[in-house]
């Protein structure tokens, strides 16, 4: 994973995580990047200082706390979506397209879609995002 500092044309600053720099480039080229504040799609990378190992605190020292914070945030996001959005199950792709085209009520939905269906939605400009995975049950944790 690689983290980029990003900014939109309105100077809103935020971070983005990508599998590789090629993933960032591909998403930027397809117009899939969007400012979380104003929703503009004009997003650019900011200048970043590289993480250099030194004698002070290392990235490894910080990772457990940040990882836990990220897992908690993803869990809160998932719970919010499940509590406030409509679960449309495997009809997600058709319902998302209907909402986008104005043939269905504009509302938050979640459900399941195949990778092919997701690709087609993205190519057609339908805004979609993956739902964070369910956190492991306490009985599943070592």
- Has residue 138 been placed in a domain? no
- Has residue 92 been placed in a domain? yes
Nearest-CA neighbor of 88 among 112, 120, 107? 112
Does 43 share its domain with 80? no
- Has residue 15 been placed in a domain? yes
What would the pLDDT profile of 75-123 be if each residue is shown by its tens digit? 889 999 999 999 999 999 999 999 999 999 999 999 999 989 999 999 9
Range of the domain at 34: 1-47
Among 10, 30, 47, where does a domain finish?
47
- Has residue 90 been placed in a domain? yes
What would the pLDDT profile of 1-45 be if each residue is shown by its tens digit? 788 889 999 889 888 888 888 888 889 889 889 888 888 899 999
Does 79 share its domain with 33? no
Residues 6+ apart with CB under 8 A from 127: 34, 100
Total domains present in the chain: 2
- Has residue 87 been placed in a domain? yes
């Amino acid at each position: 994973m690689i983290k980029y500092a990003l900014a939109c044309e309105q100077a809103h600053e935020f971070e983005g995580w990508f599998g590789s720099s090629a993933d960032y480039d591909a998403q930027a080229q397809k117009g899939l990047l969007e400012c979380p504040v104003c929703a503009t799609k004009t997003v650019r990378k900011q200048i970043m200082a590289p993480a250099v190992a030194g004698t002070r605190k290392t990235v490894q020292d910080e990772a457990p706390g940040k990882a836990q914070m990220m897992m908690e945030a993803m869990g809160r996001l998932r719970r919010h979506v499940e509590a406030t959005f409509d679960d449309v199950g495997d009809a997600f792709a058709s319902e998302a397209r209907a909402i986008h085209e104005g043939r269905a009520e504009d509302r938050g939905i979640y459900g399941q879609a195949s990778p092919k269906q997701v690709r087609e939605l993205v190519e057609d400009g339908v805004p979609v995002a993956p739902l964070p995975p369910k956190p492991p049950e306490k009985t599943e944790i070592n």
